Chain A
């Protein structure tokens, strides 16, 4: 088992190095740069721009910039944001809480609701509920998050006035209730796609399990249906969901990016979008490395958990 974990860890580290090199190259080779936002300003001349470019070290050859950045990153110095001069790690951490809050809420909603819909759908296969759940999931997966977000604001904020039209909290009010009030709409929007995905995966997984011989045997032995469902079927049906959970991070982050923009939620997604727009190289690279690490950790944990549960994986 230890060898298996070490192998997977080595692969993950190599993957991170490759991601960093490709990400750095693509980002820096894209046209424009962090100073192009000042180009339309009457205040800065080309001479000023050239001077600032040199002061930031952006005039150096790309490989030198990369190795300089990589070397400092290994020492824990992820650089400073070109926009506000703050250390990248501090910039990321200041936005991380908001995103985690949104993602965690959406995940809780999606897991509970999705699993329930999936299990019920599998148990009542081809029933009206199952059909409605299937159609609903298809619609949910097809609706663009941005559009759904705007419709939610229009209905619940503009028309009904029940929910705020955005923001994480009312300025000057840091209460839990206020936070919750602001969280409902973006979490609901973000959870929509997640719920549909969890529902579909759970239904397939459950269907596969309840058609197994051992379930039939259990039924033949006269074990009560609720016990078959919870003790025998559900535990096994949840196993493949470990992988689903491990790989949900990038999807969630992508959804959060849109939801954060629509609901002016001060999280990582919006930071990433803003930083790309400004060509804030250190922050974009920081978020890229952070996200890649999170995805790899998620995937690694899923693999390890799977290997713990199913020893055949280790041998393979």
Chain B
């Protein structure tokens, strides 16, 4: 049935008048003695494997509008939804954390000679059967061009982390490229996998301004889908690339539909106008109802983000570790998870997602224990003063907490925190701001007392958190990174430096395990839970695989097909 392939939007059926094709299908069904239900009709045609030729289309709804199509320029998660369809990286990361070659023939390792033992020399063998969407063959020249473009001074590159260490790029053959790293940097493997897409030299070398060219709004890649059209503010259409070098694509078209309001997005999923609810998915309060919808499947999966309270460690009371521990003990986390998030997220104690290879088991578990929190503060000399608020040495245990205004769940969480902390003599006030304000200087220059925030600390699948917890990464102190917590610990610095030099996963697991213990022990952040996303797909749409190593779960639409 046409609708099962997603070829015709349900919206078109709302008129209640079947079109000619549907009319004949219904007629034929009746003649054959079928019951006239969509499911029984679809059942007879349902293939068990992907189709031989791309069939149907997928309408994927996103709550933010993708606007950056040059995959090396500053973009946000939603833009990656387009990049993954149009472009290819050298290798990518499967949900289980394994690197899988894409444009490369194999993933370089010390064992296969792709990496030197000291991690300084990288030798990449490339596929020779890959073509750009315009038919031009892909070669090592494109890889060299892409890496050099990132480091070009006048190019508005998203990030040069890792790339700036690449030196002496040599093209050995059209399908082989070598380079040297200034220093060993193992997270580069992940940066190349999840965050670096290769762009076409034959097109971009001709443009006069690398920051603005026709390519920026009609990109050409090697990915499973070709650029179709963009209707600004509405949708982007991508068409199957027949010459794609990998498996798939199995649908003729992908349409990314921009629906900014999450309630409206869910309504359109419910009424069948969209086939998949992508970023930011279904609101927690709709999840239970969504699970009862006929013809819809709901996936609730963990994300790499950790929802936490970010203390500014240079701010009065928070500089005292005892205060942080008491505050942590005073939080009723389970209430936040159950009452406000419908029991969907998972408790966590680490900045690393629990599905990652580097996750450290056995970290001390949080307990909601206001009595212990009170005892700790009493023992540390924090005495209750006027209004029940504690103070010590003239410093009052009062602070503000900020988050993005308009985020209802976080605002409710703040109300619970106020109640919980009042019981232990801490006074919290709310100081919320719009996203464009709070994540500006206020956050970057550590002008906050505390912030309720969700952060993905991982670089793809890599646990290197030097930009987040390295003492040289404090922007408020002129550092290079995002250590807005102003966390400083020489042992953490040592572990971070060591982890970035190591290439053996077992060794790295130990190093980053120790780092997780240290950060948990220091309570550099007060983790609440690991983030989650609830996504819906229409029944019959196969191939959806949430991937915690990617910023967006529609990373593999090339594998999706209608059954």
Interface residues in chain A, defined as those with a beta carbon under 8 Å from any beta carbon in chain B:
30-33, 35-49, 52, 55-56, 80-81, 83-86, 91, 94-95, 98, 150, 153-154, 157-158, 161-168, 170-173, 178, 181-182, 261-264, 266-267, 270-271, 273-274, 276-279
Query: Which residues of A are found within 8 Å of B259, using beta-carbon distances?
Result: 166, 264
Q: Are B12 and A55 in contact (CB under 8 A)?
A: no
Q: Which of B102-110, B137-145, B228-236, B384-392 touches A? A: B228-236
> Roughly how many angstroms separate A2 CA and B260 CA in the complex, as a whole number?
48
Of residues 132 through 169 on chain B, the ones whose CB sits less than 8 Å from some CB of chain A are 154, 156-161
Query: Which residues of A are found within 8 Å of B436, using beta-carbon distances?
Result: 30-33, 36-37, 276-279
Query: Which residues of B are found within 8 Å of A279, using beta-carbon distances?
Result: 436
Closest to B480 in A: A47
Q: Are B74 and A38 in contact (CB under 8 A)?
A: yes
Q: Are B271 and A157 in contact (CB under 8 A)?
A: yes
> Roughly how many angstroms separate A157 CA and B271 CA in the complex, as a whole number?
7
> Roughly how many angstroms separate A283 CA and B39 CA in the complex, as a whole number?
47
- Contact mask for chain B residues 474-492; partner A; CB cutoff 8 A; 1 contact, 0 none: 0100011110000000000
Closest to A90 in B: B232
> Roughly how many angstroms separate A231 CA and B506 CA in the complex, as a whole number?
93
Q: Are A171 and B267 in contact (CB under 8 A)?
A: no
Of residues 1 through 53 on chain B, the ones whose CB sits less than 8 Å from some CB of chain A are 8-9, 11-12, 14-16
* Other contacts beyond A94-B232, A170-B9, A171-B59: 8, CB < 8 A: A40-B454, A42-B468, A46-B482, A81-B67, A91-B232, A153-B267, A157-B14, A279-B436
Instruction: Decide yes or no whether B358 CB sits under 8 A from chain A.
Output: no
Query: Which residues of A are found within 8 Å of B271, using beta-carbon distances?
Result: 157-158, 161, 164-165
Q: Are A164 and B74 in contact (CB under 8 A)?
A: no
Instruction: Decide yes or no whether B195 CB sits under 8 A from chain A.
Output: yes
Q: Which of B120-128, B438-446, B555-563 touches A? A: B438-446
Q: Are A36 and B439 in contact (CB under 8 A)?
A: yes
> Roughly how many angstroms separate A38 CA and B435 CA in the complex, as a whole number?
11
Q: Are A167 and B273 in contact (CB under 8 A)?
A: yes
**Considering residues A31, A165, A266, A271, which has the most beta carbons from chain B within 10 angstroms of its beta carbon?**
A165
- Contact mask for chain B residues 259-296; partner A; CB cutoff 8 A; 1 contact, 0 none: 11101100110110100000000000000000000000
Q: Are A171 and B9 in contact (CB under 8 A)?
A: yes
Closest to B447 in A: A31
> Roughly how many angstroms separate A284 CA and B51 CA in the complex, as a whole number?
46
Q: Are B260 and A270 in contact (CB under 8 A)?
A: yes
Closest to B194 in A: A43
Query: Which residues of B are found within 8 Å of A33, using beta-carbon distances?
Result: 436, 440
Query: Which residues of A are found within 8 Å of B482, using beta-carbon distances?
Result: 39, 42, 45-46
> Roughly how many angstroms separate A75 CA and B475 CA in the complex, as a whole number?
39
Of residues 202 through 246 on chain B, the ones whose CB sits less than 8 Å from some CB of chain A are 211-212, 216-217, 231-235, 237
Q: Which of B332-340, B456-464, B510-518 touches A? A: B456-464
Given A32-B434, A45-B161, A94-B232, A264–B260 Cβ distance below 8 Å? yes
Query: Which residues of B are found within 8 Å of A166, using beta-carbon distances?
Result: 259, 264, 267-268, 273
Closest to B263 in A: A150
Q: Are A45 and B438 in contact (CB under 8 A)?
A: no
> Roughly how many angstroms separate A32 CA and B154 CA in the complex, as a whole number?
24
- Contact mask for chain B residues 422-458; partner A; CB cutoff 8 A; 1 contact, 0 none: 0000000000011111111111100000000111111
28 CB-based A-B contacts, threshold 8 Å: A32-B438, A36-B437, A36-B444, A39-B440, A39-B482, A40-B456, A44-B74, A45-B473, A45-B481, A46-B444, A46-B473, A46-B479, A48-B158, A48-B160, A83-B67, A84-B216, A94-B231, A98-B234, A163-B14, A164-B273, A166-B259, A166-B267, A170-B12, A171-B57, A171-B237, A262-B264, A274-B260, A277-B436
Q: Are A157 and B233 in contact (CB under 8 A)?
A: no
Instruction: Decide yes or no whether B371 CB sits under 8 A from chain A.
Output: no
Q: Are A270 and B233 in contact (CB under 8 A)?
A: yes
> Roughly how many angstroms separate A44 CA and B163 CA in the complex, as a whole number?
12
- Contact mask for chain B residues 372-388; partner A; CB cutoff 8 A; 1 contact, 0 none: 00000000000000000
Select B233's contact among A37, A267, A276, beta carbons within 8 Å: A267
Select B217's contact among A43, A85, A164, A182, beta carbons within 8 Å: A85
> Roughly how many angstroms separate A270 CA and B456 CA in the complex, as a whole number?
29
> Roughly how many angstroms separate A301 CA and B77 CA in the complex, as a whole number?
46
> Roughly how many angstroms separate A274 CA and B11 CA in the complex, as a whole number?
26
**Considering residues B8, B263, B264, which has the most beta carbons from chain A within 10 angstroms of its beta carbon?**
B264
Q: Are B76 and A38 in contact (CB under 8 A)?
A: yes
> Roughly how many angstroms separate A170 CA and B15 CA in the complex, as a whole number?
13
Closest to B15 in A: A181
Q: Are B273 and A178 in contact (CB under 8 A)?
A: no
> Roughly how many angstroms separate A276 CA and B435 CA in the complex, as a whole number?
11
Question: Closest Cβ of chain B: how far from A126's Cβ, in Å?
Answer: 42
> Roughly how many angstroms separate A32 CA and B435 CA in the complex, as a whole number?
8
Place the interface of chain B in its size category: 35 or more
Of residues 389 through 440 on chain B, the ones whose CB sits less than 8 Å from some CB of chain A are 433-440
Q: Are A264 and B440 in contact (CB under 8 A)?
A: no
Select B158's contact among A44, A84, A91, A94, beta carbons within 8 Å: A44
Q: Are A171 and B443 in contact (CB under 8 A)?
A: no
Query: Which residues of A are found within 8 Å of B77, using beta-carbon distances?
Result: 41
Select B439's contact among A37, A48, A178, beta carbons within 8 Å: A37
Q: Are A164 and B158 in contact (CB under 8 A)?
A: no
> Roughly how many angstroms separate A181 CA and B14 CA in the complex, as a whole number?
10
Q: Are B211 and A31 in contact (CB under 8 A)?
A: no
Instruction: Decide yes or no whether B546 CB sits under 8 A from chain A.
Output: no
Q: Are B14 and A171 in contact (CB under 8 A)?
A: no
> Roughly how many angstroms separate A163 CA and B140 CA in the complex, as a whole number?
52
Q: Are A32 and B437 in contact (CB under 8 A)?
A: yes
> Roughly how many angstroms separate A30 CA and B442 CA in the complex, as a whole number?
12
Select A164's contact among B14, B212, B261, B467, beta carbons within 8 Å: B14
Question: Closest Cβ of chain B: how far from A222's Cβ, in Å?
Answer: 53
Given A165-B264, A165-B273, A166-B268, A48–B159 Cβ distance below 8 Å? yes
> Roughly how many angstroms separate A291 CA and B15 CA in the complex, as a whole number?
37
Question: Closest Cβ of chain A: how far from B159's Cβ, in Å?
Answer: 5
Given A39-B443, A83-B68, A165-B273, A45–B467 Cβ distance below 8 Å? yes
Instruction: Decide yes or no whether B535 CB sits under 8 A from chain A.
Output: no
> Roughly how many angstroms separate A292 CA and B157 CA in the complex, as a whole number?
36
> Roughly how many angstroms separate A150 CA and B262 CA in the complex, as a whole number?
12
Q: Are B440 and A36 in contact (CB under 8 A)?
A: yes
Given A32-B440, A46-B444, A274–B458 Cβ distance below 8 Å? no
Query: Which residues of A are found within 8 Å of B537, using beta-carbon distances?
Result: none
Query: Which residues of B are found within 8 Å of A165, using beta-carbon distances?
Result: 11, 264, 267-268, 271, 273
Select B268's contact among A44, A52, A178, A264, beta carbons within 8 Å: A264
> Roughly how many angstroms separate A262 CA and B467 CA in the complex, as a whole number?
39
Query: Which residues of B are found within 8 Å of A270, using beta-carbon distances?
Result: 233, 260
Instruction: Decide yes or no whether B538 CB sits under 8 A from chain A.
Output: no
Given A45-B161, A91-B232, A153-B267, A161–B14 Cβ distance below 8 Å? yes
Query: Which residues of A are found within 8 Å of B267, using beta-carbon distances?
Result: 153-154, 157-158, 165-166
Q: Are B233 and A95 in contact (CB under 8 A)?
A: yes
Question: Closest Cβ of chain B: how far from A226's Cβ, in Å?
Answer: 40
Instruction: Decide yes or no whether B496 CB sits under 8 A from chain A.
Output: no
Q: Are B260 and A261 in contact (CB under 8 A)?
A: yes
Instruction: Decide yes or no whether B258 CB sits under 8 A from chain A.
Output: yes
> Roughly how many angstroms separate A273 CA and B435 CA in the complex, as a whole number?
13
